[in-house]
Amino acid sequence: MKKIIEGRRIPIKMWLDEIEESCMEQALNLSSLPFAYKHVALMPDAHTGMGMPIGGVLATKGVVIPNAVGVDIGCGMCAVKTSLHADDLKKRDLEELVMKIKQQIPLGFERHKQPVDKKYLPKGYKINDLPVVKSQSDLLLLQLGTLGGGNHFIEFQKTKENEVWVMIHSGSRNLGHTVAEHYNKEAEQWCKSQNLDFLPQLAFLPIETDLAKKYLAEMNFCIDFAFANRKLMMECVKTLLIQKFPMVKFDEMINIAHNYAAWENHFGKKVIVHRKGATRAFKDELGIIPGSQGTKSYIVKGLGNPESFMSCSHGAGRTMSRRAAQRNLDLNYEIAKMDKKGIVHGIRRKSDLDEASSAYKNIDEVMENQKDLVTPLVELFPMAVVKG
């Protein structure tokens, strides 16, 4: 932990030195909430979000806050170690794999032209009990197994020993956004109906209400849908690798989410922990912390630090907005930086600069700032990246 700030009601514990003024204001707002528990935790990748900082962890007593989870419910990472050696993958092989991934996995706002098999949907849910999910049922099978846009990616990576890994970052697509927007509006209306004050973008629902129970049920479906989404894309990538390297083997997939709320026990009390752009890091739990495009990523083991509510960062964290990056970064410099490392990438236009590494924090500093939260197990270097 780097510092503790006196909040408006409870403290703010920070794993970073520098923070945007707007991000700090959001953290102070969280610290003023009457139902916020113990302290607010800001991970080393924290930056301004909607209502709550991305890279923030908030525990609450008896309420859930939809915007403290965010609009991409269940967004997260998965990673698989392969039996391939980095020397097996020449640049032309990586370029071919990237091309085939782009042909088979819809990117950005694109979706499948034909629905995928229903067997890939999350099991154990009754869709009729999930009104927002049900309203999106015609789209689910068209969006399952699609990457999305923004900072989502599929990346081929290697270790210092030249072991090859595949890593994917994606979420619940339009489904999670629709669920989040719906219940944030419901929370606002409920608070107003009860004549309760709430901070902008931080409307809440008491856990005993039917609305809160419905939100948590639909949120959990979105988490599982996001996992199914990543898993289906990983199967596609594995199939492409098998076609090229028939003898390739794969280890068990590691999967983590970083946008959700869950009941957990902390400091002797059962509370709802909201992680918005934060990864759970229970004792000895495996996690994934990606860098920015063109920089290192990490497989980590959690240390179970109670002060962070057993959490860690979900990535490097932005230092500038997407528009600022497109406006201020040098396209030729960012391309040259990737080319110099021999990375197969897709930076071609000014519009691509929103995801350039210069728009993000230094992943080495981020990892150094959370050495009391996680232990790095595997250091991964990018070989080729497909961006949404």
Catalytic residues: 314
Tokens of 60: 């609450």
Q: What does the alpha-carbon distance between residue 221 and residue 225 come to, in Å, rounded to a whole number?
A: 6
3-state secondary structure at position 279: strand
**386: nearest Cα among 219, 111, 147, 87:** 147
String of DSSP letters for 103-129: HHS--TT---SSPPPGGGSPSS--GGG
The SS3 of residue 203 is coil
Calculate ∠ Cα 244-250-251, nearest 5°: 165
Burial 53-69 (b: 16+ CB within 10 A, else e): bbbbbbbbeebbbbbbb
Burial class (CB in 10 A: 0-12, 13-18, 19+), 102: middle
Question: CA distances (Å), 168 to each of 25, 123, 183, 239, 256, in order?
Answer: 32, 22, 28, 15, 11
